[in-house]
């Protein structure tokens, strides 16, 4: 990819703006709450855009276009099945407890509902996951910049990590959120022209369809049998694994995204945040997945565009989007497109770092090391944690460079930890008989169950490390991941219930505002019906259903 | 000015205004693509930036 001074100028302007946002927000940071919680004063439209953008990291932009090229329209299951319903559930049913309990974080809800050990387990695993995830994002960005621009690994790492550190350190969570919104619009406006130019070259929608197999153009039609679709996943695994366990586990319990709703100024805004975020989320497949399909069609047309290949001759799907940008974008727009890619990586990294510093400061440092320090002290700890979090991210990026398998390992561990968590929250919020011991041991057993299933099954040569002959061979690693998630969630769910029946629950009076049956419903009587969260949720679900029907 | 820069709509509008001007100027002087992608994308960004700045100006808190 050859950049000119205009492209570099656009990248430089972007860097000036992200740093400038941090600089202008610096004077607003007066307390630890301002730095770590944005003082719960961020307007609804910003929290909503930040909610989508916090998830719009490297995996989304690069990964989904790669999946679009590999699996076709089935990739949209990660949005229309694996995101929207869970976002609606979070907004309508779970946000009243997160926001109403006044918890500053998801782990803090666990200490209010259950006990210290459950909070500690969740806080430690979440802190480790976010900081490693941030490092993986950094590594992927450095790899991309090295491949596209020839920048050295060190330069890419230091520049990206340095910029994220400066703007996060200056303006805290508000700065990260403001930049996420800028990054969201940049990603949308920077990548969308690629769809326009791609469709033009391929002969429009009909031209694209003519060069793709029918299986690439449908979401549900070929789900009856796993071997009939390119993902090699059957209907049950898709619905239960992705559509329930993994999606609800991520969107409803991961503090990285939930934090964006928790900083809204009031309950109604907190509830509406994931619902409004669902609107751009349901449209994102047309920006991030469609380029993958277009790339395959263009390659088959035999023109001057072809999908990139790896050294071993296989298609390098991860380079689909960068290759298309490089091929179709002229000087100027190329700078915008590349800046959009960099923004997606930085957005993902900043989101992880701000979630990490909140959880570390409130749920680990304040809970276990220094309970009664001054607010100024926690503000300093929050800032120090930001620096340390970014340094660990940099170290993880270098580790990932030395050991390729570490990325696979990290992804695996994330799945082990995230999947059972939703069972804990579901029971904790909606069944008052759930006990603290039930939640803690249920979580542990869910993670253990996930590791066991991975150890006794295999897919594409992965897993099966506990036995000489795997008891089941999945048709793809994705099917295996869904299977592990289902097993892990079910284990946690059953163990939590069984232990809860034989242990003593908390008193009802201690769970008011934390459990559905003991909490008064939020009043929306003074609000016009169309402004109520339920109406918005219904609209979002109906539109998502229509998308599923159109691309059936 | 400091007050304006603390409003995200103004900041986003300003960013895309600058980028759109660069793209449109580049497109008018030298754009090898048949679709005039720089002008096309720059125009969309310009409209978007005007909307954001207008929304900012309509907000009473930021009127001078």
pLDDT value for B1 = 54
* Mode of pairing for the β-strands spanning A457-459 and A472-473: parallel
Question: With bands split at pLDDT 50, 70 and 90, how would you rate the model's confidence at A399?
Answer: confident
Give the strand order in the sheet containing A457-459.
A462-463, A457-459, A472-473
pLDDT value for A266 = 87
Q: Tell me which chain A residue has its CA closest to the CA of residue B28.
A: A332
Span of A175-189, A318-332, A522-536, B19-33 with lowest mean pLDDT: A522-536
Cβ neighbours, 10 Å, residue A20:
16
> What CATH number does domain A5-402 carry, 1.20.1730.10, 3.50.50.60, 1.10.1240.10, 1.10.340.30?
1.20.1730.10
pLDDT value for A388 = 93
ipTM of the complex: 0.92
pLDDT value for B60 = 66
- Within 8 A of B37 by CB-CB distance, chain A residues are 193, 197, 328-330, 333
pLDDT value for A403 = 67
- Within 8 A of A48 by CB-CB distance, chain B residues are none
- How large is the average pLDDT for residues A218-227? 87
- Within 8 A of A181 by CB-CB distance, chain B residues are 8, 12
Whether residues A333 and B22 touch (CB distance < 8 A) is answered with no
Phi/psi at A473 (5° precision): -110, 115
- Tokens of residue A532, six digits: 């109520």
Which residues neighbour A372 within 8 Å (Cβ) at sequence distance 6 or greater?
Answer: none
- Is A8 near chain B, with CB under 8 Å? no
Q: Tell me which chain A residue has its CA closest to the CA of residue B31.
A: A330
pLDDT value for A487 = 93
Percent of chain A with pLDDT over 90: 42
Question: With bands split at pLDDT 50, 70 and 90, how would you rate the model's confidence at A525?
Answer: low
Q: What is the pLDDT of residues A442-464, one digit of tens each?
A: 999 999 999 999 999 998 888 88
- How large is the average pLDDT for residues A124-137? 86
Q: Where are the domains of chain A?
A: 5-402, 404-520
CB A1 within 8 A of CB A334: yes
- Within 8 A of B10 by CB-CB distance, chain A residues are none
- Is A14 near chain B, with CB under 8 Å? yes
Q: Tell me which chain B residue has its CA closest to the CA of residue A47.
A: B8
Q: Which residue segment(s) compose the domain that B14 sits in?
A: 2-62
More confident residue, A531 or A259: A259
CB A453 within 8 A of CB A412: no
Span of A184-188, A223-227, A506-510, B28-32 with lowest mean pLDDT: B28-32
- Within 8 A of A333 by CB-CB distance, chain B residues are 23, 37-38, 41
pLDDT value for A296 = 93
Q: Is residue A406 predicted with pLDDT exceeding 80?
A: no
pLDDT value for B6 = 63
pLDDT value for A117 = 93
Distance of CA B45 to the CA centre of its chain: 5
- Is A24 near chain B, with CB under 8 Å? yes
Kindly report the three-state secondary structure assignment for every residue of A496-544.
Answer: HHHHHHHCCCCCHHHHCCCCHHHCCCCCCCCCCHHHCHHHHHHHHHHHH
Nearest 10 degrees: Cα torsion A202, A205, A210, A212:
90
Whether residues B22 and A10 touch (CB distance < 8 A) is answered with yes
Task: Map residue A472 onto helix, strand or coil.
Answer: strand
CA angle, corner A470, sides to A424 and A483, nearest 5? 30
The partner residue sitting opposite B37, judged by closest CB among A25, A182, A333, is: A333
Whether residues B2 and A24 touch (CB distance < 8 A) is answered with yes
Q: Tell me which chain A residue has its CA closest to the CA of residue B26.
A: A332
Considering only CA atoms, which of A393, A383, A385 is closest in space to residue A22?
A383
- How large is the average pLDDT for residues A261-269? 88
Please state, in angstroms and rounded to a whole number, the distance separating the CA atoms of residues A434 and A504.
9
pLDDT value for A310 = 80
pLDDT value for A541 = 96
Helical axes A106-113 vs A255-262, angle rounded to 10°: 90
- How large is the average pLDDT for residues A45-61? 84
Whether residues B45 and A182 touch (CB distance < 8 A) is answered with no
pLDDT value for B2 = 56
- Is A173 near chain B, with CB under 8 Å? no
- Is B26 near chain A, with CB under 8 Å? yes
- Within 8 A of A34 by CB-CB distance, chain B residues are none
Task: Map residue A375 onto helix, strand or coil.
Answer: helix
pLDDT value for A410 = 65
Whether residues B11 and A20 touch (CB distance < 8 A) is answered with yes
Whether residues B18 and A24 touch (CB distance < 8 A) is answered with no
Mean pLDDT of chain A: 88
Q: What is the pLDDT of residues A281-303, one digit of tens each?
A: 999 999 999 999 999 999 998 87
- How large is the average pLDDT for residues A115-132? 90
CB A38 within 8 A of CB A516: no
CB A352 within 8 A of CB A147: no
Please state, in angstroms and rounded to a whole number, the distance separating the CA atoms of residues A136 and A141.
9
Q: What is the pLDDT of residues A332-384, one digit of tens each?
A: 999 998 898 888 888 888 888 988 999 999 999 998 998 888 999 999 999 99
- How large is the average pLDDT for residues A249-257? 88
Question: With bands split at pLDDT 50, 70 and 90, how would you rate the model's confidence at A193?
Answer: very high
- Tokens of residue B51, six digits: 């909307």
- Is A330 near chain B, with CB under 8 Å? yes
pLDDT value for A524 = 59
- How large is the average pLDDT for residues B40-57? 93
pLDDT value for A240 = 92
Q: Which helix (H) or strand (E) holds A250?
A: helix A247-253
Span of A46-55, A231-240, A344-353 with lowest mean pLDDT: A344-353
Domain count, chain B: 1
Residue B58 C-alpha, separation from nearest chain A C-alpha, in angstroms: 16
Please state, in angstroms and rounded to a whole number, the distance separating the CA atoms of residues A392 and A173.
19
- Is A200 near chain B, with CB under 8 Å? yes
Q: What is the pLDDT of residues A67-101, one digit of tens each?
A: 899 899 999 999 999 999 999 999 999 998 888 88
């Amino acid at each position: 990819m050859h950049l000119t001074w205009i492209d570099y100028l656009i990248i430089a302007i972007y860097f000036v703006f992200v740093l400038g946002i941090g600089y202008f927000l610096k004077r607003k940071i007066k307390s630890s709450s301002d730095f770590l919680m944005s003082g719960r004063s961020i307007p609804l439209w910003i929290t909503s855009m930040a909610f989508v953008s916090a998830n719009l990291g490297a995996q989304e932009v690069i990964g989904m276009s790669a999946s679009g090229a590999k699996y076709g329209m089935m990739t949209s299951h990660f949005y229309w099945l694996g995101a929207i319903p869970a976002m609606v559930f979070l907004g309508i049913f779970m946000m009243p407890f997160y926001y109403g309990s006044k918890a500053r974080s998801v782990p803090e809800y666990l200490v209010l509902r259950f006990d210290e050990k459950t909070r500690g387990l969740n806080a430690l695993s979440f802190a480790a996951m976010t900081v490693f995830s941030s490092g993986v994002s950094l590594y992927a960005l450095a790899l991309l910049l090295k491949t596209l621009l020839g920048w050295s690994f060190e330069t890419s790492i230091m520049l990206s990590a340095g910029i994220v550190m400066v703007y996060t350190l200056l303006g805290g969570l508000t700065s990260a959120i403001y930049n996420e919104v800028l990054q969201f619009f940049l990603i949308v406006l920077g990548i969308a022209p690629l769809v326009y130019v791609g469709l033009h070259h391929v002969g429009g929608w009909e031209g694209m369809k003519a060069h793709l197999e029918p299986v690439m153009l449908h979401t549900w039609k070929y789900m009856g049998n796993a071997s009939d679709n390119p993902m090699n996943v059957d209907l049950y695994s898709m619905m239960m694994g992705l559509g329930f366990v993994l999606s609800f586990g991520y969107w409803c319990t991961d503090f990285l995204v939930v934090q964006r709703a928790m900083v809204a100024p009031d309950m109604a805004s907190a509830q509406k945040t994931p619902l409004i975020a669902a609107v751009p989320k349901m449209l994102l497949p047309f920006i991030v997945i469609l380029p993958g399909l277009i790339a395959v069609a263009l390659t088959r047309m035999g023109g001057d565009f072809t999908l990139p290949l790896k050294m071993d001759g296989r298609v390098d799907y991860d380079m689909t989007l960068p290759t298309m940008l490089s091929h179709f974008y002229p000087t100027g727009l190329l700078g915008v497109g590349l800046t959009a890619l960099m923004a997606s990586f930085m957005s993902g990294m900043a989101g992880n770092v701000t979630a990490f510093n909140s959880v570390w400061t409130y749920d680990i440092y304040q809970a276990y090391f220094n309970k009664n320090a001054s607010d100024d002290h926690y503000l300093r700890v929050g800032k120090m944690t930001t620096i340390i979090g970014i340094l660990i991210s940099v170290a993880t990026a270098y580790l990932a460079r030395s050991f390729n398998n570490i990325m696979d390992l990290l992804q695996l561990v994330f799945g082990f930890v995230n999947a059972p968590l939703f069972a804990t929250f579901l029971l904790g919020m909606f069944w008052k008989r759930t006990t603290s011991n039930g939640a803690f041991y249920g979580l542990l057993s869910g993670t253990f169950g996930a590791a066991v299933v991975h150890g006794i099954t295999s897919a594409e040569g992965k897993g099966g490390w506990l036995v000489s002959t795997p008891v089941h061979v999945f048709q793809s690693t994705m099917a295996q991941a869904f299977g592990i998630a289902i097993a892990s969630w079910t284990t946690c769910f059953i163990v939590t219930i069984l232990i809860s029946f034989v242990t003593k629950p908390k008193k009802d009076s201690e769970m008011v505002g934390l459990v559905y049956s003991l909490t008064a419903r939020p009043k929306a009587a003074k609000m016009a019906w169309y402004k109520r969260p339920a109406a918005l949720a219904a609209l979002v679900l109906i539109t998502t259903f229509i998308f599923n029907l159109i691309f059936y | 000015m400091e007050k304006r820069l603390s409003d995200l709509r103004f900041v986003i509008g300003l960013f895309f205004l600058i980028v759109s001007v660069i793209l449109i100027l580049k497109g008018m002087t030298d754009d090898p693509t048949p679709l005039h992608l720089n002008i096309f994308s720059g125009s969309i960004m310009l409209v978007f930036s005007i909307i954001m700045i207008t929304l900012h100006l309509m907000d009473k808190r930021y009127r001078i």
